Amino acid sequence: MTDAPIPAPAVAVVDKPRNQWRDVWDQFRTHKGAMAGMIVFVSLIAFVTLGPLVWTKDPTFVNPDAVQMFKSRNMPPSWASPLGTDQLGRDMLARMMAGGQVSIAVGLVAMLLSIFLGTTVGVLAGYFRRLDGPLMRLTDLFLALPLLPLLLVMVMLFRDSLAGVFGAEAGTFLLIVSAIGVTSWMQAARIVRGEVLALKEREFVLAARSIGTPPRRMVLRHILPNVVSPIMVAATLGIASAIITESALSFLGLGFPPDFPTWGRLLFDGVEYMQLYPERVMWPGLAISLTVLSVNYIGDGLRDALDPRIRGR
């Protein structure tokens, strides 16, 4: 075959060079789990963003009429409130929607931030020997710092100034996301570095280096694609821990205002009522698990799709 000097003229209609990302998408579509995950994830996003447009109850509304309020407490699911009401008669469906917006946003953004920091530090430390020492000692430092005092200090220093610049809500969001991101990148960094250390001694890297590939290209084209799978795992686990950490922050009084629902906080509040109203913990627990599961399957599919060895098959 390789002997053929010139392609046969019969093959005149050359396929348009296939776009790599199209290939990835085609492969991704064949992954059943990933598609299911995608559908679930998109519906969750739709639930929290479009839901409030349809279901317009105010998630923080407490009936000022004492008698009415007392009657509307702890209602089981009904047409008026499909997921029931909480101990102050607030509508759980509306709270789940409002809570989901924050939780998904915090989970995704904090995860992206932590993965970005972790990967950058890990790749730099693994690839450039000179940076390895300082960066890894920095990682050790962050691992060792006690989280709670650090968060308290961050909140004390930056809350008011951030709220001044971005407004109260955006300021709090930024603060929480960066607090979680800045305190959770270390594991990803250590893992990526370990992988890079092994990768950079592999033949294909030596080959690429021998033809004079500049470090930037080396890292972006040869190293990074090969550490995708641990990063994916770190990312999925990262979303779960970011959502839970956010709730931990809010019951330390460091997060959003106390009447502002998030999935993590709904779950925490529900634990107290678990024996009496088990659905109160079920909804947020289910929502968090679904989010994490769907992201996990999307990650799985993405990894398979990005792997050219599998893609060909």
Partner 1 sequence: MKLRTALLGAAATLVMAPAAFAERGADGNVKVLYSQAVSILNPYLSSGTKDVEAGSLVLEPLAGFNEKGEVIPRLVTEVPSVENGGISEDLTTITWKLIPGLLWSDGTAVTADDAVFTWQYCTHPEGGCAQAARYEGVANVEAVDPQTVKVTFAAAKPNPFTAFVGATSPILQKAQFEACVGAAAPTCTDPNSKPVGTGPFMVTDFKVNDVVEYAANPNYRDPAKPAFATLTLKGGGDAAGAARAVMETGEFDYAWNTQINPELQAQMEAGGKGVFVNAFGTLVERIEMNMTDPSADLPEGERSTAKHPHPILSDLNVRKALSMAIDRQLLVDIGYGAAGRATCNLVPAPEIYASPNTDCIAQDMEGAKALLDGAGWTDSDGDGIRDKDGKKFTLLYQTSVNPVRQDFQALIKGWWNELGVEVELKTVDGGVFFGGDPGSPDTFQKFYADVEMYANNFDGTDPEPYLAQYTCDKAPRPETQWQGENINRFCDPAYDELVKQLSATRDPAERGALAIRMNEMLTKDSYVIVPLVDRGRLSAHSNTLGGVVLNTWDTELWNASDWFRVK
Partner 2 sequence: MLTYTLRRLLMAIPTLLLISLLIFFVVDFAPGSPMSQIPLTVPPEVRLKMIEALGANEPAFYRYLLWLRQFFWVEPAYWMDARFGTDLAGGAQRILSWQSRSPVFDLIGQRLPQTLTVIGSAYVIGVLIALPIGIYSAYRQYSWFDQIGTFVAMVGFSVPTFFTGVVLIVIFSVNLGWFPSIYDTTLRVTDWASFQKQVMQMAMPVTVLALYNAAQISRYMRSSMLDNLGQDYVRTARAKGMKESVVVLKHVLRNSLIPVVTVIALGIPTIFGGAIITEQVFKVNGLGAALINAIHASDLPTVQTLTFIFAVLIVLFNLIADILYGILDPRIRYD
Distance from C-alpha of 223 to C-alpha of 136, rounded to nearest angstrom: 19
Distance from C-alpha of 131 to C-alpha of 143, rounded to nearest angstrom: 18
Q: In this complex, which beta carbon is closest to partner 2, that of residue 3 or of residue 201?
A: 201
> Residue 165, interface with partner 2 (CB under 8 A)?
no
Closest among 236, 45, 263 to 255, alpha carbons compared:
263
Distance from C-alpha of 211 to C-alpha of 206, rounded to nearest angstrom: 9
Query: How much of the chain is in helix, strand and coil states, percent to nearest 5?
Result: 75, 0, 25
User: Is there a contact between 306 and 228 (Cβ–Cβ < 8 Å)?
Assistant: yes
> Residue 147, interface with partner 1 (CB under 8 A)?
no
- The answer for residues whose C-beta is within 8 angstroms of residue 161's C-beta and 6 or more apart is none
Task: Determine the 3-state secondary structure of 91 from DSSP.
Answer: strand
Kindly tell me which residue out of 40, 150, 152, 182 binds partner 1, with binding defined by CB under 8 A.
152
What is the DSSP secondary structure assignment for residue 57, as one 8-state letter?
Answer: -
Q: Which does 80 bind (CB under 5 to 8 A by kind): partner 1, partner 2, none?
A: none
Choices 21-29, 62-70, 216-224, 292-300; region in contact with partner 2 by CB under 8 A: 292-300
User: Is there a contact between 190 and 121 (Cβ–Cβ < 8 Å)?
Assistant: no
> Residue 39, interface with partner 2 (CB under 8 A)?
no
> Residue 70, interface with partner 1 (CB under 8 A)?
yes
Kindly tell me which residue out of 273, 279, 282, 290 binds partner 1, with binding defined by CB under 8 A.
273
Distance from C-alpha of 3 to C-alpha of 190, rounded to nearest angstrom: 48
Identify the H or E element spanning 245: helix 228-251
Choices 29-37, 66-74, 133-141, 189-197; region in contact with partner 1 by CB under 8 A: 66-74
Q: Which does 296 bind (CB under 5 to 8 A by kind): partner 2, partner 1, none?
A: partner 2
Kindly tell me which residue out of 141, 217, 259, 310 binds partner 1, with binding defined by CB under 8 A.
259
Minimal distance, residue 51 CB to partner 2, in Å = 21
Residues that bind partner 2 (CB under 8 A): 33, 133, 136-137, 139-141, 143-146, 148-150, 152-153, 156, 186-187, 190-191, 194-195, 197-198, 201-202, 226, 229-230, 232-233, 236-237, 240-241, 243-244, 247, 264, 267-268, 271, 274-275, 281, 285, 288-289, 291-293, 296-297, 303, 307, 309-310
